[in-house]
A and B are shown apart, each in its own frame.
Chain A
């Protein structure tokens, strides 16, 4: 018989009647549209989760970039020496105290490091001393930080006075009482008046103002706005009453010699201090690379921690998705039965409900990314405008893609149970469901 041959032909034909994906997507979108307010409430959890993750990530990135930029601003040829052994952790307060109060770095050490046969790659060593002092001009007083160094400090921090000049080598050698003041110091002491050429009192000593620094805003390693800079030769003993340096910055001739120079510096200082056990070092040496690594680790851990807190709301959102998909499966039992009666396989039904769940979470993911980026951008503008930080905003592409992936994945995970429930229904039972 003709027809039975037809059937046999059909059986040998590959089973390629799997639901077409374009239809599936359209259909899912339509079904989500039928219950608009419910869909919106459902994706809210996902939106909040993704938004907070994107926000945390982009702010974390911004903060990290800000700090790293400043460290990198010092130049990769700078090696920083501080007294005291390297702190083993952030809570190692003895070592922390040592690094401020320690007197291991003095003129003698500086001279030793400058000797070519000790550290051949070091071209310059810049001493740094600092402390809080009170400055006054006429009836105005202001408590500020005084930073003492040589004229070479401007190469390290890249601060140039926009009014007047910086102090010179001669000023350092002759222990001149000259000072370059930050913008806030200038405003507090002089108001709108000119400052250059005026004499201010720092502690009990008179200093001539020779330059004013432009406003740099907060967020620098050193807040120059609220500081003044003078030759270390006048600051060290005259103002702070100390005979040591809080930091020495060694400049290397070439970046690739940094490691060699660090080694040479350590050996030189150990010889000078008769230290045989490196564990007992009374100084520590840090390169820019070390600092970048440390800061990256800290901000990275912090960002990850915050992001994982945000991820909890994603999880809650996922449970919401599962709940609503279960309701949807129950509500549409007859539809499932009918679809099966006209030829849908269990796989088709599974795909349909998974598509709906994934679409819900993906839409939530998109909205979340959008909101996160907008909020992140707004915050970066506020930080730049109001707090005067040099805060750069970069689109967090990685986290955004990750967020979208996570959202879709949550749709799959939390959608699979309801979708399986739907696909297992027998057509006649589903059709009889009231």
Chain B
């Protein structure tokens, strides 16, 4: 077997606010391994460093020390252009607050990653439509975010994350701003992506129900891994509810 998709070695993230004594250790020596095709939930109370970890994993932030190997390549060796390319092609990111561009149609929001992909403009529409179809929003294609419900907005965000067909999808509290029913729908989409398309899914949540969609749960506390275990009773779509 070759190397893992993601390998972390003693990752630390320290936020310095003035002198060293007041420095916050958001991540305090995290080491872990994630293989391609896994569905991992990162859990922990607020301030545990779970979002910081996801940002480092998703190339939105850089660790203060330690090594992060993505496909075997240390993230310190990426140039700014290469980082942009990884964010564009290899990963998709879903945010708690959706982060859709206001006053911009659904289709144009989904097209956003394509603009920076080098893919020919003539292919943008069909690729974006395909991604929107996979989240079941074709009928909303010309709507603007303000005309959509929270659940629909998050589905647009998922379509945007999918449009460049990345291997890995990172989700930062994807159901955090949604009612439970919309949240379930989002998690079902993520789970089906993991099963049907072999996307690796790494999500951060503080909700136990949400985490049960994953096959593996990593718990963080004070910037360190508290536990890392397989989900015993994984919730699967169509297998009843968790209420």
Contact = CB atoms under 8 A, between A and B. Distances in A.
Contact of A23 (B84, B88, B113, B115): B115
A36 to B, nearest CB: 13
Interface string A30-59: 000010000000000000000000000000
Q: Which of B60, B81, B117 is most buried by chain A, counting CB atoms within 10 A of its CB? A: B60
B97 to A, nearest CB: 9
Nearest to A344: B116
Main secondary structure of the interface of A (DSSP, over half): helix
Contacts of A221: none
Contacts of A338: 99, 101, 112
Interface of A: 1, 3-4, 7, 10-11, 15-20, 22-23, 34, 334-335, 337-346, 348, 426-428, 431
A18 B119 CA distance: 10
A356 to B, nearest CB: 15
Interface in B54-99: 55, 58, 60-61, 71-73, 80-82, 84-85, 87-90, 93, 95, 99
Contacts of A337: 99
A428 B61 contact: yes
Given A17-B117, A339-B112, A4 B3 contact: yes
Contacts of B118: 16-18
* 6 nearest CB pairs, A to B: A343-B88, A17-B118, A1-B2, A343-B116, A342-B113, A345-B84
A206 to B, nearest CB: 88
Contact of B85 (A10, A34, A339, A340): A10
B84 A17 contact: yes
Interface in B160-209: 160, 164, 167
B141 interface: no
A340 B87 contact: yes
A14 to B, nearest CB: 9
A4 B70 CA distance: 9
A348 B121 contact: no
Nearest to A334: B99
Contacts of A431: 60, 95, 99
Given A10-B89, A343-B89, A431-B95, 16 more contacts: A1-B36, A3-B36, A4-B2, A15-B85, A16-B118, A17-B116, A17-B118, A19-B115, A338-B99, A339-B112, A341-B58, A341-B60, A342-B87, A343-B116, A344-B116, A426-B60
Contacts of A344: 84, 115-116
Contacts of B115: 19-20, 23, 344
B137 interface: no
A87 B44 CA distance: 94
17 contacts: A1-B36, A4-B71, A10-B90, A11-B73, A11-B82, A20-B115, A335-B101, A339-B112, A341-B87, A342-B112, A342-B160, A343-B84, A343-B113, A345-B81, A346-B80, A348-B84, A428-B55
Contacts of B101: 335, 338
B71 A3 contact: yes
Interface in B25-58: 36, 55, 58
Q: Which of B1, B61, B89, B116 is most buried by chain A, counting CB atoms within 10 A of its CB? A: B116
A345 B72 CA distance: 23
Given A428-B61, A431-B60, A1 B103 contact: no
Nearest to B198: A3
B8 interface: no
B100 to A, nearest CB: 8
A345 to B, nearest CB: 4
B77 to A, nearest CB: 10
